[in-house]
Homo-oligomer: A and B are copies of this chain.
Amino acid sequence: MTRKNNSPAPFLLKTYDLLEESGDDGQIRIVSWNIEGNGFVVWDPAEFSELMLPNYFKHNNFSSFIRQLNTYGFKKTSSKRWEFQHEKFRRGCRQLLVGISRKKCEPSVFPSFLKASSPNHRRAQQNINGSSNNNNNNNLTLLMDENNKLRREKMELEMEIAHFKTLEMRLLECLSHYKTNH
């Protein structure tokens, strides 16, 4: 899923730019795109952390950098060196970055007037207001059941979305295939 504001996450832009920079001067020995251009390699983590990270981020910790890579779904693709890949992180394709999102994308602003209220919910609210303690355990049970149901429904929706993402990717591949072949 693409970001709302159509601009990639700062972390992705910085990491991409950092790799462009590494090509410019002699820092290619520290970090560089891999041969295929579909990932990158940190050749010298110590130098990388000390010299390059602080120019782009508010820290010089390699592990924090790795944590961010994981957050955005990058995979470590070699056990022998610090190589990372993400299908939408490719040399020369800066605009592809907009398609990369954080794994855990908690919701944001939502019109409050859309806030729904269920029967269980309203009942519990009334009982809180009326200090009617008798039914509280019952309310708790109802609410927890509803809670479980919501969680299940969310999970189903998320699976549906995952399906759509795969589908979208295939369609895009398909389209690009047509474009190049005709």
Contact = CB atoms under 8 A, between A and B. Distances in A.
Interface in A149-171: 150-161, 164-165, 167-168, 171
This chain: how many copies in the complex? 2
Given A106-B109, A114-B155, A118-B151, 5 more contacts: A118-B147, A146-B147, A157-B157, A168-B168, A178-B178
Interface stretch (A32-40, A43-51, A82-90, A136-144): A136-144
Contact of A58 (B59, B106, B121): B59
B160 A110 contact: no
Contact of A154 (B127, B150, B171): B150
A124 B182 CA distance: 62
Contacts of A137: 128, 136
B110 A152 contact: yes
A1 interface: yes
A20 B124 CA distance: 50
A141 B127 CA distance: 11
A121 B144 contact: yes
Given A106-B111, A116-B151, A171-B171, A160 B1 contact: yes
